[in-house]
């Protein structure tokens, strides 16, 4: 994965770069993830997984600290 940070420092993005023997694998791989820091007690994570057949799946986590 290769990471980048937004100019305001609130968004971290990671994109798949490469993997050894990925074409021989019968499993998918993590393709992309974005962490967005909303405030000290709240962030989101957007995950994208690439299946072996090329289809994408993923989800959004909206995480908040409880006090």
pLDDT digits (tens, 9 = 90+) for 3-43: 999 999 999 999 998 877 766 667 788 899 999 999 999 99
CA torsion, points 6, 48, 50, 19, in degrees to nearest 10?
40
In tens, the pLDDT along 1-14 reads 999 999 999 999 99
Rounded CA gap, 45 and 12, in Å?
10
Q: Give the DSSP per-residue string, 22-56.
A: TTT-SS-EEEEEEEEEEETTEEEEEEEEE-TTS-E
**What's the predicted TM-score (pTM) here?**
0.84
Please check whether residue 59 is in contact with residue 49, taking contact to mean a CB–CB distance below 8 angstroms: no
């Amino acid at each position: 994965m290769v990471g980048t940070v937004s100019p305001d420092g609130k968004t971290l993005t990671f994109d798949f770069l490469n993997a050894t023997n990925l074409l021989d694998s019968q499993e998918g791989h993590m393709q992309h993830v974005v962490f967005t820091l909303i405030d000290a007690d709240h962030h989101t994570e957007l995950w994208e997984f690439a299946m072996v057949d090329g289809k994408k799946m993923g989800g959004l986590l909206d995480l908040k600290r409880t006090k």
